[in-house]
Structure 1
């Protein structure tokens, strides 16, 4: 995978990890590497992110265990090139991001598109679907998955609403997104990496958290083919 690149694999994987794991801009990553005596431009880091980030994210997805059977769905408005769009996101009961979808609409058709995408990727319907009171969810669910229990209550959907926070951070760091394609492409790489490294509710002690983080680092080493930089 790294053939033809003059920079070592350890550096490439480390730069990609920094950019997608933390709320850093490309120029910030460039400066962090420069502080370690490594001269590489932010444009090179961007290209690494597009090529290697996608490959790493796909490998993480293939290794991921089956996700929960309770889906939390939510949508948030984002401004792209001065126009309003909607970022639809689904997470399970543990906070793992199942999928995201950027759309220009916030209606039944958009909700149906999200549900179809989720069913195709997850390979099964959820046991419970939790959303806010947007009527488009109920209308779409009746057609796509009529037998699934549906709970509509704003207070029940905090998990999905909180999952938007990293995206908001990135939106500020990146001085707003430039296109729907850019948002979709970035989050399709960012979210699997965040799923791998983020802390979960069951990691409620230092011992369980450190064990989970060690396992995440091991998985990252396996998907990138190189040990994490010290």
Structure 2
């Protein structure tokens, strides 16, 4: 059975939320928007989506004062954030269940973003410091020991 992957990405390419659902209808879109808003500390001014009509229905009910844009060029950030997921899914030979997909993708998106700073926006030295700090945090949080 195919499932849909709903993903919210901010203007900087950071994944805000992921939800795996069976359907791509207005009810599913409303559920995703409500779940997204619960985790955010701010309310977005505008959202960009693909041309799926159920987004418009959900946006008018859940986020009526937010500007909704559906240009195919404006959701490039969203589409590009799918690439690591697609690569990982191929390596795993697909997910065995929607629950496994939800659990893995939620964790994977946050960890992937932590280790992939936006290289094109920073100098080489700043990038190295950022990556070093990310790995130091990872070692502290996971209690991983470096091989000597």
1:184 and 2:95 aligned: no
> 2:78 maps to what in 1?
160
2:66 pairs with one of 130, 140, 148: 148
1:222 and 2:140 aligned: yes
- Specify whether residues 201 and 112 from structure 1 end up closer, same or farther in structure 2 by C-alpha distance, changes over 3 A only: farther
1:170 and 2:96 aligned: no
- Specify whether residues 224 and 135 from structure 1 end up closer, same or farther in structure 2 by C-alpha distance, changes over 3 A only: same
1:213 and 2:131 aligned: yes
- Listed one character per residue, the Cα deviations across residues 156-208 of structure 1 (whole Å, up to 9, x for unaligned) are 10010011111111211111110000000111211111111013156432122
List gaps (5 residues or longer) in structure 1: 1-82
Aligned equivalents of 1:229, 1:144: Cα separation in 2: 51
Count the aligned residue pairs: 148
> 2:41 maps to what in 1?
123
Question: Where in structure 2 are the equivalents of 1:79-98 lying within 5 Å?
Answer: 83-98=1-16
- Listed one character per residue, the Cα deviations across residues 37-85 of structure 1 (whole Å, up to 9, x for unaligned) are xxxxxxxxxxxxxxxxxxxxxxxxxxxxxxxxxxxxxxxxxxxxxx121
- Which structure is larger by alpha-carbon Rg, 1 or 2? 1
State whether residues 15 and 109 of structure 2, in contact with CA within 8 Å, keep that contact through their aligned partners in structure 1.
yes
Aligned equivalents of 2:67, 2:19: Cα separation in 1: 23
Aligned equivalents of 2:44, 2:59: Cα separation in 1: 11
List gaps (5 residues or longer) in structure 2: none
Q: CA RMSD in A?
A: 1.6
Normalising to structure 1: TM-score of the pair?
A: 0.60
Normalising to structure 2: TM-score of the pair?
A: 0.91
- Specify whether residues 223 and 132 from structure 1 end up closer, same or farther in structure 2 by C-alpha distance, changes over 3 A only: same
* Structure 1 residue ranges (4+ consecutive) displaced by more than 6 angstroms after TM superposition: none
State whether residues 119 and 127 of structure 2, in contact with CA within 8 Å, keep that contact through their aligned partners in structure 1.
no
The structure whose RCO (Cα within 8 Å, separation 6+) is larger is: 1
Aligned equivalents of 1:92, 1:229: Cα separation in 2: 37
Identify which range, 196-205 or 105-114, moves more after superposition.
196-205
